[in-house]
Amino acid sequence: MKQLLRSNQDKILSPRWVDKSVLVTGGASFIGSHLVDKLVQLGANVSVLDDLSSGRLENLEESEHRIKFAKKDLEYISKGEIRSLFRDQDIVFHLAAVHGGRGYIQTHPADVCSNLSIDHHVFEAAAASNLENVVYSSTACVYPDALQSKVGSEYKLKESDSDPTRLDFPMSADIEYGWGKLMGEIQLNAFIKQYGMKGCPVRFVTTYGPRENETHAIIALIFKAIARIDPYSIWGNGNQERDFTYVEDIVDGTLMAAERIFDGTPINLGTGKKSKIIETVEQICNILNWKPQKFKFEEYMPVGPLSRALDNTRAKDMLGWEPKFSLEEGLRRTIEWYKNKHGDWKDKRILLERSL
Ligand SMILES: NC(=O)c1ccc[n+]([C@@H]2O[C@H](COP(=O)([O-])OP(=O)(O)OC[C@H]3O[C@@H](n4cnc5c(N)ncnc54)[C@H](O)[C@@H]3O)[C@@H](O)[C@H]2O)c1
């Protein structure tokens, strides 16, 4: 057992994962695959459902011999089939979603609405399956843009700024993707209210790390620096601020939330620190020991809210979670992975898509 518990936060995680039957929807994704690897390390019996629309089987290479994988489209799956896939599970982590970087979600507003049906199918089957918990991958996009519109603001988004348990309060979210996830949280709470289902919405902020692709900000920025693209293009004016959080911290927080929250209470996972895109680019360039002669600011490209960070007080108080990785350390690890993995970056294009 001792070998299974590796980091400090693993000690906070209880041994309850050993021999648990755990299903991860969207488990071939960037975040999903890290969660799968961690669950396998903790001794769980892990199954993955994914349609591989943006997820990749290569993301699961580390755990492939120790998990069950089924390629399933959860948007069109029948009630009978999804119920039978959930029947013998103890816990479901629901990460499957039509999602991508800012470029994708802003240019595919209709496609992301598929998440309403994917979420409904998952929650309906979960309610019929007597699970111990359903953990829902929500997002910082459930918060109103108006609270994130001022560069330099010190405001951190609190769970109460969008509360799926207070339907009499005004709510607003960040474009269709954010509204869809907020509706996902409201649906999850509806199943809890009506059927006594157990559930936990976890709000991930801008996550980065190995296995992410170039359609997301950090990997796109790393790609451009490694490929020595000069002038180096930056979407917007570079002053927009984000709470970049390393994937291992997100996975730890998600597992801790799964152990402790069952009543639909949403929980933020983010460092609470804001970094400007231009400063992050400088950090990446320093690590790579290179600097472009010129920056080209593409102000017409989608940038999203101007100043975003999550208040993580609730995660600290309820879970004992704290992010372990500084941005510097997380960037170094991600750059190291990217250099080893992507010898062919010159052939890659940066698209408004969700996978390359
Ligand atoms: N990456 C982030 O910064 C971030 C931030 C907040 C929330 N999230 C959420 O975390 C989850 C994982 O995101 P990610 O960034 O790791 O990668 P992602 O967006 O690629 O993950 C989505 C996964 O769902 C799968 N999928 C899509 N449609 C499906 C369908 N109809 N049936 C079955 N599987 C389907 C994809 O193949 C993919 O593996 C998503 O729910 C996303 O909304 C991510």
Q: How many CA atoms lie within 13 A of 3 on its CB side?
A: 3
Q: 233 - beta bridge partners?
A: 296
Which one is predicted more confidently, 348 or 218? Answer: 218
Residue 264 lies in a domain: yes
Q: Is 305 in the pocket of ligand 1 (CB under 6 A)?
A: no
Name the pLDDT band for 10 (thresholds 50, 70, 90): low
From 36, 99, 120, 205, give the residue whose CB has the most ligand 1 atoms within 8 Å, as the site to mutate: 99
Split at pLDDT 50, 70, 90, the class of 139 is very high
**Distant-in-sequence, close-in-space partners of 238: CB < 8 Å, separation ≥ 6:** 276, 277, 278, 281, 295, 297
Tens digits of per-residue pLDDT, 234-267? 999 999 999 999 999 999 999 999 999 999 999 9
pLDDT in tens, 200-241: 999 999 999 999 998 999 999 999 999 999 999 999 999 999
Domain count of the fold of the chain: 2
**One domain, residues 130 and 188:** yes
Q: Is the CB of 217 under 6 A from ligand 1?
A: no
Is 95 inside a domain boundary? yes
Same domain, 175 and 63: yes
Helix axes 247-260, 30-41, angle to 10 degrees: 60
Query: Is residue 144 situated within a structural domain?
Result: yes
Residue 314 falls within a domain, yes or no?
no
Do 74 and 21 belong to one domain? Answer: yes
More confident position, 4 or 137? 137
**Atom number of ligand 1 nearest to Cα 99:** 19
Report the nearest atom of ligand 1 relative to the CA of 138.
7
Q: Is the same domain home to 186 and 283?
A: no
- CATH number of the structural domain spanning residue 302: 3.90.25.10
Residues, the chain: 356
Q: Do 145 and 155 meet the contact criterion of CB atoms below 8 Å apart?
A: no
State mean pLDDT over 86-91.
97
pLDDT of residue 1: 37
Which residues span the domain enclosing 230? 209-243+273-309+325-346
Closest atom of ligand 1 to 56 CA is 39
Q: Measure CA 76 to chain center.
A: 23
pLDDT level of residue 314 (50, 70, 90 thresholds): very high
The reply to whether 183 falls in a domain is yes
Both 117 and 182 in one domain: the answer is yes
- What residues does 71 pair with on adjacent strands? 50
Residue with CA closest to ligand 1 atom 9: 137
The atom number, within ligand 1, closest to the CA of 141 reads 6
97 pocket-lining for ligand 1 (C-beta < 6 Å): yes
Report the atom number in ligand 1 closest to the C-alpha of 355.
20
What are the CA-CA distances from residue 250 to residues 63, 149, 162, 232 (Å)?
19, 25, 20, 30
pLDDT(344) > 80:
no
- The mean pLDDT value of the chain amounts to 93
Burial of 189 (0-12, 13-18, 19+ CB in 10 A): buried
Indicate yes or no: pTM above 0.75. Answer: yes
pLDDT digits (tens, 9 = 90+) for 29-59: 999 999 999 999 999 999 999 999 999 999 9
Ligand 1 centroid – CA 29 distance (Å) = 6
Which CATH number belongs to the domain containing residue 79 in this structure?
Answer: 3.40.50.720
Are residues 128 and 45 located together in one domain of the fold? yes
Is residue 116, in this structure, part of any structural domain at all? yes
pLDDT band for position 2 (cuts 50, 70, 90): very low
* Residue at 352 is within a domain: no
99 pocket-lining for ligand 1 (C-beta < 6 Å)? yes
